[in-house]
Structure 1
Amino acid sequence: MGEYSDSLLMAVIAGVALYLGYRGFRSWVRKPFTLRSGIGFEMNEEILEHPAVDLLEAAGYEVVSDKLKVPLAFKVDHQILHSRLFIDYIAVKAGEFYLVRTARERLPIEWTGSGLRKDLLPYLLLYPECAGLLYLDIEQGTLKEIALTTDEDEDESAREGTWRTL
């Protein structure tokens, strides 16, 4: 009986290992694709007095870096094209980093999905390790926290009866 039970035990262990391997592979395949940025922060620790800094601190954020210029280079065919993105501040709250953009009168944000995609998505994709982006309107004294999310984060009951087109 000992030889039979050893064979049965080995078959059960092999079956469990195959099942766990299948589940692990399936979850790995279904895992969403994430971008990893090779562009790190070069903190500008000289923080100048500004109403934006006061607004962030009043909201519970700690400003850890002043204005940053992020150089970008694009290779098109065999030509290098240069550009840059500007980050107004980097703030921390509860151990999470946030990029900060301030409102500009000559560059208003369109508060629609496509408007946010056009104006703010590059920042969120460039630094996916950040918790989000803070948008400050100093004149109105408002602060909006923007994070990239999916529809799966919504409550299932809120989506009942809605139609989706692809």
Structure 2
Amino acid sequence: MDSVGDWLIMLIAAGVMGWWIVRRVDRWLHEPPDARLRRLAVAGGVEEDEHVSLLKEQGFHVLSGKHRIPLGVSVDDGPVMPTRLYFDYLAEKENKYYLVKLERPRQPMEWTASGLRERLLVYALLFPDCHGIVLVLPQERQIKTVRFKVEAGEK
């Protein structure tokens, strides 16, 4: 009798696990493209400061602030070295999401195509649902929006 009961418990457990996996995959397949950004928007709080005020003046609604994305880097199958990627705010304007970076005096932005690519392309690749990356220049009280477009290669 014990073996019949054990098999029954195993079959029920396998059925529940299978049902759970199917539900998770189905939810993942049907979630909207910007669901990851929506989760980020809920995750962080926003402190009112001059940067947030400047963004509001330009028509942005700041959803959350100070995000840290943990990454791991491995060289030649060596140990994984932890690192982080930061962005300052997640904002919305006209139902489009934007990542916001503040320009820091000790790390000025190089306003060339290659300089922007080196500093900001990683954000565009990590969050393809974002409409662009907004750079806040606090000293000039300016906001600039950067977008990347993949062009057709030369033949």
Q: TM-score, normalised by structure 2?
A: 0.69
- Please give the alpha-carbon distance, in whole angstroms, between the structure 2 residues aligned to 1:118 and 1:46: 29
Q: Give the letter aligned to residue 51 of structure 1.
A: E
Question: What is the deviation of 1:85?
Answer: 0.8
Query: Unpaired segments of 5 or more residues in structure 1?
Result: 1-35, 153-163
Matches within 5 A, 1:115-130: 115-130=115-130
Q: Give the 4+ runs in structure 1 shifted more than 4 A.
A: none
Indicate which of 37, 40, 43 corresponds to 1:42. 40
Question: What is the deviation of 1:150?
Answer: 3.9
Q: Give the letter aligned to residue 46 of structure 2.
A: I
- Please give the alpha-carbon distance, in whole angstroms, between the structure 1 residues aligned to 2:105 and 2:147: 23
- Please give the alpha-carbon distance, in whole angstroms, between the structure 2 residues aligned to 1:106 and 1:99: 21
Q: Tell me which residue corresponds to 2:68.
A: 69
Post-superposition Cα deviations, 1:15-68, rounded to whole Å, max 9, x if no partner, equal xxxxxxxxxxxxxxxxxxxxx9xx765344421111110011011110000111
User: 2:44, 2:66 within 8 Å by CA — same for their partners in 1?
Assistant: no
- Please give the alpha-carbon distance, in whole angstroms, between the structure 1 residues aligned to 2:74 and 2:137: 35
1:55 aligns with 2:54: yes
Q: What is the identity percentage for the equivalent residue pairs of Structure 1 and Structure 2? A: 34
Q: Tell me which residue corresponds to 1:140.
A: 140
Matches within 5 A, 1:145-164: 145-151=145-151
Query: Unpaired segments of 5 or more residues in structure 2?
Result: 1-32
Q: Give the letter aligned to residue 95 of structure 1.
A: N
- Please give the alpha-carbon distance, in whole angstroms, between the structure 2 residues aligned to 1:140 and 1:116: 19
- Please give the alpha-carbon distance, in whole angstroms, between the structure 2 residues aligned to 1:66 and 1:102: 11
- Please give the alpha-carbon distance, in whole angstroms, between the structure 1 residues aligned to 2:85 and 2:55: 21
Q: Tell me which residue corresponds to 2:131.
A: 131
- Please give the alpha-carbon distance, in whole angstroms, between the structure 2 residues aligned to 1:92 and 1:73: 29
- Please give the alpha-carbon distance, in whole angstroms, between the structure 1 residues aligned to 2:71 and 2:44: 22
Question: What is the deviation of 1:165?
Answer: 7.7
Question: What is the deviation of 1:151?
Answer: 4.7
